[in-house]
Amino acid sequence: MDRQDSATARFTLGRQSSLAPDRADSGAADDDDDGVIDPRVRLMYLANEGDLQGIQDLLDSGTNVNFADIDGRTALHVAACQGRSDVVQLLLCRGADVHLQDRWGSTPLADAVYYKHDDVIKLLEQHGAKHPMAPMRVENAREVPEYEIDPKELDFSNSVDITKGTYCIASWRGIQVAVKMLEKVFADEDKVNAFRDELALLQKIRHPNVVQFLGAVTQSCPMMIVTEYLPKGDFRLYLKRKGALKPTTAVKFALDIARGMNYLHEHKPEAIIHRDLEPSNILRDDSGHLKVADFGVSKQLIVTKTVKEDRPVTSQNTSWRYVAPEVYRNEEYDTKVDVFSFALILQEMIEGCLPFFTKPETDVPKAYVANERPPFRAPPKLYAHGLRELIEECWSQDPFRRPTFKQIIKTLDNINDQYARNRHWKVIPLMCLQNLENIVKKGRSSPSSNSSPSTMR
């Protein structure tokens, strides 16, 4: 292979390595000093363009099919990125090596998986390409986790992205499931650790208001987390469609969220902080109830009562509109950060708009730190029976002043009872009026009232 002089050429056109820091498409292939394109780089260019005859001619002239440029990229890498199954087939027939890695550690198969070219994946697998070994793979078959799912059982043929693109739909054993896929596991240690943490947490969770964990793929790449699929979608889409909700509906939904969160916070022996509670991470089931989901940045309180991020949280990790001020300031925090987020969601249900919807998202946490809160624009009657007071307690600047979810559930139950009593007292006069009307109608239609005087005598 021409690796000894590969540093003299680089292919920069088209899709780049799935693991490259910058995968943006470039303009053209590099030229030699004399303006003539290196035939080996031209091979990569033709693979990118899908020129089968040109590739055939170059290979017949002696160009090495396994030439790697300065980045370790080969024509097979390029064709795999572009999804050129015909080119891949030709290169494989001419001896292309399926196991070569580029400078970032990516193989042609890894590139095909990243860009979701199923036909190319099958071709490479047929010629001996192996998926990278998963970081969680065990040597002894007895150590394979009970929750392990064979990836061949997951059918992605009709897959679509759901919930912010984090999950996609797949078919598994006759049902639809939501699959969270981690593709770049062999290069990003932080993502691997986050995957491990989320998986360890999901195995412990069982509650009607928390999304159900079904299993995972950990013994092969890409690694995946499989959870129940809720076809009604996330709560963000629902709020966009419905706008402001009736207070009774908002309280019902708030109770669902609070019950799920109370379960997490009172989990034994470790309390669980969600740390990314916002409408996109809340799902609706077939009955219309809500379930808390997506625990990618969740934290567990094992020994200490507070946690602190190793690095500042960014807007890529969570939505700034719902983040508590102590998280934004990168201070120690506890379960009360979820209570803060809950307050904003509850107010959003009544108001029908995002928290501080007139501000750019990056400016919202600065407002929270300055002790500003989204204004109450809806009529006071929509915040009756202590609903407004509950929201204000939940988003208090001092975390220790915020109630627990156990206390929140009790308050919401009382508010719900008040609404039920109001409905009851509204129904009773209506029923009395209907009964009175029925008595009058019966009196008019009774035989005695219609009898003539002679008959009465």
Structure tokens at 69: 């440029």
Cα separation values, 361 from 114, 189, 385, Å: 30, 29, 31
Please report which residue ranges of 383-404 form alpha helices under DSSP H. Answer: 387-394
**Cα 265 to the chain's mean position, in Å?**
21
The span from the CA of 210 to the CA of 296, in Å, is: 14
Using an 8 Å Cβ cutoff, are 348 and 303 in contact?
A: no
Collapsing DSSP states into helix, strand and coil, what is residue 213? Answer: strand
Q: 167 has which bridge partners? A: 162, 180
Q: For helices 405-445 and 247-265, what crossing angle results, to 10°?
A: 150
**Identity at 161, one-letter amino acid code:** D
439: Cβ–Cβ under 8 A, 6 or more apart, which residues? none
Nearest CA to 390 among 372, 421, 368, 413? Answer: 413
Amino acid at 439: I
Residue 295 and residue 285 in contact, taking contact as beta carbons nearer than 8 Å: no
| Distance (Å, whole) CA 14 – CA 334 | 47
What dihedral do alpha carbons 198, 200, 201, 207 form, nearest 10°? 120
Q: Please give the C-alpha separations between residue 330 and each of 256, 274, 310, in angstroms, as whole numbers.
A: 29, 16, 9
DSSP conformational letter for 4: G
Burial class (CB in 10 A: 0-12, 13-18, 19+), 453: exposed
Instruction: Give the count of beta carbons closer than 10 Å to the beta carbon of residue 16.
Output: 24
d(C-alpha 66, C-alpha 64), whole Å: 5
| Active-site residue (options: 234, 276, 334, 338) | 276
Q: Which residue in this structure is represented by tokens 């669980």?
A: 272
Per the DSSP assignment, residues forming a β-bridge with 1 are: none
Is residue 86 annotated as a catalytic residue, yes or no? Answer: no
Report the C-alpha gap between 104 and 18 in whole angstroms. Answer: 9
**CA 424 centroid distance within chain:** 41
Alpha carbons 26 and 50: distance in angstroms, whole number: 17
Q: Cite the active site residues.
A: 276
